[in-house]
Amino acid sequence: MLKKRKRVSLKTYWMTRYLLVLLIGLAIIALISALWIRHTTIDYRMSMMTIYAEQMVDRITNVDDGTRELPREGMIGGGTNPPKLDIKPQLYITNLKGEVLNKNQMGPPLLAIEKNVLNSSETKQTIKLANGIEETFYIVKKKVKVDKKQLGWVVVMESEKNMTHTNQALGQLAILIGALALIGLGAIYYLTSRLTKPIQQVANAAKMVQEGNYALDLPDDSPEAEVHDLVQSFKEMAGRLEQLESMRTELLAGVTHELKTPVTAIDGLLQALKDGVVAGDEAREFVQMAMIETKKMKTMVGDLLAFNSFAVNAIPIKLEARDINQFMQDTIAQWAITQENAAVKIDCRPLSQEESIFVDPVRFQQIFTNLFTNAAQAMKDQGHIHVRLESTSTAIAIYVRDEGPGIPLAEQQLIFDRFYRGEDKKYMIRGLGLGLPLSKMMAQSINGDLQLVKSDETGTEFVLKLYK
């Protein structure tokens, strides 16, 4: 037996994923920001160190005493740092050989700077200090020239550790990222809750429907179109299921009643014959009545069997090419022959020119027999049925209109539902409510469709479309 998979709630599922995406995004932003802060800080400090070195070169050249020698003391004072520099770099004045002549007494001791360091264009170099320790420095070098003659160098340098020190900026960045994380978490929680709430309500409503409770209270004021459509569709589905459940209950009662009535009548008639209550002509009349009831019951059972056969696609369809004008006239004539009441007349307006189409003759005639019979019943067996044919590039449409009182608006969407019977019809005419559903299924089986065009107080109109 397979172990049942543990499910998590939709809210938890999406919150964890949104949060993971948020944290990954913030981590990437934090990393890029930290690298950018480090880079801009180093650039800024290098610029200030360059200004610092240039200031010192200017001081040296402006106080030249004509000896053309670099001063060994007195040139570097405590106020020589650039005002905007947040570090205290080491400053050295050297001769051309790199020997330190003067310095600002900051950092580890350095007696000389190697020529390869002075001549290199690299701003980041490793220098060996007087104590033998090697350390990486960021270096700015400026030549000291008097009358175009180089006397030495002004060197400003700072250790890599101090140059890349950005704790304050990184702390501010951490606060900003933390604030964004909290805001993002709150937004994710709010949006996820808002999104999953109607879905959870629909899920709870589905459980109610499963238990047979169709009294749902689902809010349909969601501003999101998809969520609103979901709720509306589910409410319509629940209403439809409730209606079908009611129809199923009515079907069981209706089928039982419709079959029981002729059986009871036949039983009573045969019992009267058996007991000798009637004789002679009256007995023959009783037999005739029993045969009529048997025929009615046979018709209802036949409808059930036919509907079931069409529902499972068990009836083969045989399409034949027929002239639609002539075939429609033949169908009308055959139906009229079977009608005992001649008060119902059918007028037909054919196509302006002959046109053939492939149909199953038997199914075609069954469809119109049902439509004509329904029309006659709606007009209470008196009036006119109007038939007209129209042809388009894609189909031949056959319209059937009666002069009856019409179908109530509330019932028009249900007339093609199996076993549905209108409120007025179910108490006046016996049947199972399979006529129109079966006719629609037959129409679809011959590459067509049966539709209700309109129905009002002036009559009801159906159309059978046969696609070419």
* pLDDT score at 338: 77
The fold of the 320-467 domain, in CATH, is Heat Shock Protein 90 (3.30.565)
CA 261, 266, 269, 271 dihedral sign is negative
* pLDDT score at 342: 66
* pLDDT score at 69: 65
Please state, as a whole number, how many other Cβ atoms lie within 10 Å of the Cβ of residue 461: 19
* pLDDT score at 100: 85
Annotated domain spans of the chain: 13-168, 256-311, 320-467
Closest Cα partner for 434 from 180, 251, 275?
251
- DSSP letter string, 119-148: H---SEEEEE-TTS-EEEEEEEEEEEEETT
* Domain 13-168: top CATH class: alpha beta
* pLDDT score at 200: 82
Residues 6+ apart with CB under 8 A from 232: 220
**The pTM is what?**
0.48
| C-alpha pair distances (Å), 370 with each of 400, 402, 439, 461 | 11, 13, 7, 14
CATH number of 256-311: 1.10.287.130
Residue 413 Cα to chain centre, angstroms: 28
* pLDDT score at 79: 47
Please state, as a whole number, how many other Cβ atoms lie within 10 Å of the Cβ of residue 400: 23
Closest Cα partner for 59 from 146, 158, 123, 147?
146
Rounded to whole angstroms, the Cα distance separating 142 from 53 reads: 6
* pLDDT score at 1: 45
Residues of the chain with pLDDT under 50: 1, 78-79, 427-428
